[in-house]
A = this chain, B = another copy of it.
């Protein structure tokens, strides 16, 4: 706990960011979850017990963290901007039933050849988005079928 907090402080400082309670809370929250929350989800969770931050500050913290390369946006649904503290290259799985999102390891698809693009296009990075059913929604659907 304490160690992790220190690590976060060090990370922020190493990127030249001032360490404020709000910025710390936003980054720590993002690191602690894997569901790529929206701004409102972060706000709600941070202020659950007592007020920690305002909405505008979440936006500005996220912008600072994004510019520092500690956080990135994830765009999977229309009108919803999510945030992710995992900035390593990876893919995403998106459940079409519940809308849940899960990371897919980079190594899962290793046969993509950017060289096979049409001549002229210089591909540099790529990202795969898989749609389907997650564990829970898949079993629920099966149950309905069985009944």
Residue numbers of A with Cβ under 8 A of B are 73, 75-79, 81, 93, 96, 102, 104, 108-109, 111-114, 116-118, 120-135, 138
Contact = CB atoms under 8 A, between A and B. Distances in A.
Given A113-B109, A127-B128, A127-B129, A120 B135 contact: yes
Contacts of A81: 78-79
B117 A108 contact: yes
Contacts of A114: 130, 132
Nearest to A141: B122
User: Which among A79, A109, A127, A133 has the greatest number of chain B C-beta atoms within 10 A?
Assistant: A109
A120 B93 CA distance: 12
